[in-house]
Each structure stands twice: as structure tokens, then as C-alpha cells.
Amino acid sequence: MGEEWTSKDFFRKVETGQSKTERAFTGSDGREYLWTIVPHGCELYVIADRKSIPTLVARLYNTPPASERTMGPPSLDIFPSAEHMSDLIISTAVYIERLRRNG
């Protein structure tokens, strides 16, 4: 069995200069990850250290508006560099998407 966490104990709020709040967490590999909301959905970045540029490791595409349903269903892309954390990425993506929808 895995550990149980509350969202406030697991995620840290990260304020950006663009008046939006992102969520950061420490992965099971000890690295810092950051979910950010973008127009088409959400993106997950790994932050190797404070001096390096964050690297995109997963992208969640949302359901398109009714007028654009031809775009296809929502999907979650996990890049090869983060496949070892697939379970954690899926569960955090569900939480972040729920936050995004609830505003």
C-alpha cells in the first residue's frame, strides 16, 4: 500500500508574476516538479536545480469546446524521461485538472 497525503501537505503553491498559482511537489525520485496551467490544458515540468531551465515531462490536453470536438478526447502525454513516475503523474494530473475546472 502507498502513503496517504492531503493535498495541502503534498503540493506547494507557487505564485507566478502572471497572477496565477501553480502547484509544485517533490517526486518519489527526490526531484521538484511543477504543474502549470496553459491555454490548452496543463503542463508538468521537472526542475533539476534553481539555476537550470525547467524541462517539460508531461502534458495534459483538455476536452475541446463543443464547437471544436473534432480535436479529439482529452489525453495525457508522459514523456520517456518521466515514465518511472507514471502513477504519480496521473494522480497529480487529475487533481490539477480538478483545480483548473473549479477555478
> Which tens digits make up the pLDDT trace of 30-87?
899 999 988 778 899 998 877 888 899 999 987 655 555 555 677 899 999 999 999 9
In this structure, is residue 24 part of a structural domain?
yes
Q: Which residue's entry shows cell 501553480?
A: 22
**What's the pLDDT at 40?**
78
pLDDT on residue 17 = 64
How many domains are contained in the chain? 1
**Judging by beta carbons within 10 Å of its beta carbon (0-12, 13-18, 19+), is residue 24 exposed, middle or buried?**
middle
| Residue 3 in domain | no
What is the pLDDT at residue 44? 95
Buried b (16+ CB within 10 A) or exposed e, 71-101: eeeeebebeeebeebeebbeebbeebbebee
pTM for the structure as a whole: 0.79
Q: Is residue 91 part of a domain?
A: yes
Give the amino acid at 83: E
Question: Does residue 46 sit within a domain?
Answer: yes
Does a structural domain hold residue 67?
yes
Helix (H) or strand (E) holding 44: strand 41-47
Segments forming the whole domain that contains residue 31: 8-102
Q: Would residue 14 count as lying in a domain? A: yes
Residue 28 lies in a domain: yes
For residue 98, what pLDDT band results from cuts at 50, 70 and 90? confident
Q: Is residue 19 part of a domain?
A: yes
